[in-house]
Amino acid sequence: MAIYARAVPKAIHLTETYCYEKYISTNESLEPAEKPQGKIEVIIPYDGQEYFGQRAIQDVAQQITSRNGEINALIGHLAMSHYDNTNLDNLLSQNQKYETIPLQIPVFNNTISHLSKLKEDKHLCLLSHEYHPDLPEFKPINVEIEILDDYHLLLNEYEELTSLDRFGKIDQRNPTKIIEIAQSIRTQVKSGFSGNNNSLKGKLFIFIKIQIFIDFSSIGLSDEFRLTKYPQVKQLSIEWPTITSFRAFDLKHIYKNKTLAENIRYNSLNKSFEWFAKSDVNGKDIPLVMQRNVNSSRNHRQNYEILMLMGIVQPGELYQETNLRGTIEVEIPELLLSGLQARFYGFSNNQVGRANLEMTQLKTRIITNFQLDINEAFKKRTRSTAQELIFENVLSNEDNLRIILRVLNSQGFSYQYKDLYDSNSNRTLWLITAERQEGIEKMTLWMVIDGEEKTTVVKDTKGNVEEQTGDKKGQVKMYFLGSLPRNSYTLIRRMNALQEELRQKLG
């Protein structure tokens, strides 16, 4: 006998999990690690009010004639659509109502021995169905990892590099940011030479770039579809060869300049450094928002990315390893990569119409196990060096700036420059970014020119008369930060040649 009840689910969760293996080396690869998994979960609390209410209890009481064995009640159907990229076709075809999954919940069994149990709010029913989605036609994730040295801290702990097109273009729209960079280069290069507490400390950095790609047309969604919530990084795990304190690491979300160190722990069982998305006092995840690439060449595709920077205080153990392994888990809310959609239809239209707006929750999990070839990573990492050059009796003016730019041009550099007013020193700075091709690599140079005018006072004594004559003199200080992938010798040789020509022209 069919038993019906006017109950509604509290939540319907549809989750798909895709696993990939990423090998990071000269010949990179990204391949599926296992068959994708899908899961449908329907939660119905026996609360006696909102979900399994008095009307549902009355429905059950009126239809039950005997209480032998387990009795189930049908509360509605889960209508499925856009399931072509899954194996749900076999499951759905078994039901008389094609394209639906019947939702039957127990209303009498060993646990629910009396109708009063249906309203005590001590039990809930969890209905679960598993399926297999197809692999998407596109690869939804990409992971890039680089090893950096702490010269990158000279540009305000690296996030400024990313906001200015990684290594070199001056963003004219953000003058405040530019002057912060100029001051940072000047201050840190000076402290590096003086050897004080702000100087470089031999720290190693692992730069992690995570990209998410969503092609809506391939999963049956319109070009106008947009996510209201950005994807989130939920977990990052990196194997570490020796047991160590979590204080040996720090982690930053670069775009937000947000420190994530409070979420770091060292798991001694599997020898890995782990970070989990933080939850606030209400238990909600604080999202690491990915930035959308608005310059995507195709309207039906959305790209997101997040940049993270892990600092290692004592990197010695890493040099003994051949590979660095880890796992990254990303969650995409409001979307299944198969395109699957679900909607609940029950026997209480007024409740369904209200509840269905927030009842169905879609989520895609992408788990990527990565492996970085450490030897290749160290070989191709960007080499950096900082230098300081001082010219006495030289004024910081536009004539001398033009000389500096001509020297850069003669050394094969293309350049950009901008004048900045430094309120701390009450004088003008020049910030120059230049780049030059070195084989297949690109050398990048940041220069800060800091000029100071001085008045020399000469006292001549003629009897009781003293005369003072003033003569304007100048001092120009130049601070250089150069970067070049792979080849430190070429970098230093090129910067030395640049300084030698500057001495000839300005000295």
> 62-82, pLDDT tens digit by residue?
988 777 778 899 998 888 888
Residues in the chain: 507
- Measured at the alpha carbon of residue 43, what is the angle toward residues 37 and 49, in degrees to the nearest 5? 170
Strand partners, 80: 342
**Given this model, what pLDDT does residue 155 score?**
46
pLDDT tens per residue, range 233-269: 888 888 876 655 555 566 766 655 566 656 777 777 8
Residue with tokens 């109502």: 97
Poorest-confidence range of 67-76, 101-110, 229-238, 463-472?
Answer: 463-472
pLDDT tens per residue, range 314-366: 666 666 778 889 999 999 988 999 999 888 888 865 444 334 546 889 999 99
Taking a C-beta distance cutoff of 8 angstroms, is the pair 154, 189 a contact? yes
Q: Does residue 163 or residue 321 have the better pLDDT?
A: 321
**Given this model, what pLDDT does residue 70 score?**
85
Q: Does residue 363 or residue 416 have the better pLDDT?
A: 363
Segment 369-380 shows an average pLDDT of 86
For residue 451, is pLDDT > 90?
no
For residue 208, is pLDDT > 80?
yes
- Measured at the alpha carbon of residue 101, what is the angle toward residues 100 and 106, in degrees to the nearest 5? 145
Give the residue extent of every domain in the chain: 1-16+35-133+336-363, 141-332+364-379, 382-506
Q: Does residue 400 or residue 384 have the better pLDDT?
A: 400
Q: What token pair was written down for 378? A: 């160290």
For residue 170, is pLDDT > 60?
no
**Given this model, what pLDDT does residue 430 score?**
86
Q: Domain 382-506 carries which CATH code? A: 3.40.1000
Q: Cα dihedral angle (85, 86, 87, 90), rounded to 10 degrees?
A: -80
- Measured at the alpha carbon of residue 255, what is the angle toward residues 249 and 259, in degrees to the nearest 5? 30
Segment 140-149 shows an average pLDDT of 86
For residue 195, is pLDDT > 50?
no
**Given this model, what pLDDT does residue 441 score?**
85
- Distance in angstroms (rounded) separating the CA atoms of residues 55 and 349: 13
Inter-axis angle of helices 398-410 and 488-506, to 10 degrees? 140
Q: State what percent of residues in the chain have pLDDT above 90.
A: 23
> DSSP code of 35?
-
**Given this model, what pLDDT does residue 160 score?**
43
pLDDT band at residue 370 using 50, 70 and 90 as cut-offs: very high
Q: Does residue 416 or residue 337 have the better pLDDT?
A: 337
**Given this model, what pLDDT does residue 33 score?**
94
**Given this model, what pLDDT does residue 299 score?**
59
pLDDT band at residue 206 using 50, 70 and 90 as cut-offs: confident
**Given this model, what pLDDT does residue 283 score?**
44
For residue 396, is pLDDT > 50?
yes
Mean pLDDT of the chain: 77
Q: Is 442 helix (H, G, I), strand (E, B) or coil?
A: strand
Question: What's the distance, CA 242 to chain centroid?
Answer: 27
pLDDT tens per residue, range 107-137: 988 888 888 888 888 888 999 999 999 999 8
The strand pair at 37-45 and 11-24 is best described as antiparallel
Segment 261-281 shows an average pLDDT of 72
For residue 278, is pLDDT > 70?
no
Q: What token pair was written down for 340? A: 């699957």
**Given this model, what pLDDT does residue 280 score?**
46
**Given this model, what pLDDT does residue 253 score?**
65
> DSSP code of 247?
G
**Given this model, what pLDDT does residue 356 score?**
52
How many other C-beta atoms can be found within 10 angstroms of the C-beta atom of residue 351? 17
Query: Which element (helix H / strand E) includes 130?
Result: strand 124-131
Segment 437-450 shows an average pLDDT of 85
Residue 154 has phi, psi (to 5 degrees) of -60, -20
**Given this model, what pLDDT does residue 198 score?**
43
**Given this model, what pLDDT does residue 348 score?**
65
Residue 394 has phi, psi (to 5 degrees) of -125, 130
